[in-house]
Amino acid sequence: MKISTHLVSAPLHTPFVTALRTATHADSLLVEISDGSVSDGSVSGWGEAPQVWKVTGESLAGAQACVEGPIAAALDGLEPDDLTEALRRVQNAAVGNFGAKGAVDVALHDLAARRRGQSLHNFLGSTVDTVATDVTLSVGDADALATAARARVADGFDVLKIKVGTGDARADFERVRQVRAAIGPGPSLRLDANQGWSRRDAVTAIRAMEDAGCDLELVEQPVPAADLEGMAWVTDRVSTPILADESVFGVRDLVAVIRYGAADMVNVKLAKCGGLGPARTLLELAREHGIQTIIGSMMEGPVGVGAAAALVSAYPTSAVNDLDAAWWLREAPVTGGIRYDGALIHLPSAPGLGVTGLTA
């Protein structure tokens, strides 16, 4: 197998603002793995490692070094059809580096599906070719959020995620209240604090929204990732389900969340856990312990989101998933792949992820 890497930066049509950062581009490392079967007719699989400093702490340079160094060395000489052994070697090639591992894991799955002439979701055992996603409203003042919310509902989205946790719980309350008033009772509202509240501010804000009839579906990561005791304290004191995101990268993290009773739900992301293989383990573990699940994405493109959507197709989750990242792109860095139609993501019928190459 031959491994190549490509650094890409795709512009967003609208700045993406959270409590942690402001993004105008989606910066990623694309990994291409070729089977090298025929000099002029080899098949390639694709994977993506997004750069998200504030969540994973991994850089594109680091991911590239990991892919081209220890992971490439671990896969050297291995036949492309030995997927199980390849995935094992990827996970054991280095400590951490989950974004790099995730990109190679997805590329290997994509390659295996393509060599069999199957779409990735078919390869994973599914015949479902559409999955639903929410859409995120960037951090902004109450009026701007209300306007954006109406626009997204008009675009066909019926699950909206509001970024809160900006340091002013009272302002967060007003933003959410005005969004609910703007869109009416039909669409679902979920909040993402991105670790931005203290435990007391989280309880105060969530209870106020509950009392005001804001009708929240869930609140994601209300407190700092390491504060599982604090998140459990919040979970025990509010009626709205609490979703763990930054607190859970791998199995040990999820086990800790379960032991603390820290959250009702967990957000599984390929770039956090290291790919499709580890993600399936997390989903199964969560279900065994009564933890609800969704699958999310970082700020990434059609490769990363396409892989996550294929996983959703094969492993249905407890709620609408958080896979709008590629919808924000003004220009995609690759040709082919998934297609958005309002809140629906259409999975390709072409082999693998349906990606045919880099854009010119």
Active-site residues, by number, are 163, 269
> Residue ranges of the alpha helices (H) in the chain?
60-66, 72-75, 83-92, 98-115, 120-123, 142-154, 169-183, 199-211, 228-237, 251-260, 270-273, 276-288, 302-314
Residue 311 has φ and ψ, to the nearest 5°, of -65, -45
Contact assessment for residue 18 and residue 195, using Cβ atoms and an 8 Å cutoff? no
> HSE on the CB side for 125, CA within 13 Å?
6
Contact between residue 246 and residue 194 where contact means Cβ atoms under 8 Å apart: yes
- Contact criterion met (CB below 8 Å) for 321 and 346: no
Long-range contacts of 249-254 (CB under 8 A, 24+ apart): 249/98, 249/273, 250/98, 250/274, 250/278, 250/282, 251/278, 251/281, 251/282, 251/285, 254/282, 254/285, 254/286, 254/291
Instruction: Determine if residue 275 is left, alpha or beta; phi over 0 gives left, psi from -120 to 50 gives alpha, anything else beta.
Output: left
DSSP class of residue 38? S
CA distance 305 to 158: 19
The DSSP secondary structure of 65-127, one letter per residue, reads HHIIIIIHHHHTT--TT-HHHHHHHHHHSSSS-HHHHHHHHHHHHHHHHHHTT-BHHHHTT--
Contact, 185 vs 215, CB < 8 A?
yes
**What are the residues facing 24 on neighbouring strands?**
none
Q: Residue 213's CB: how many other CB atoms inside 10 A?
A: 10
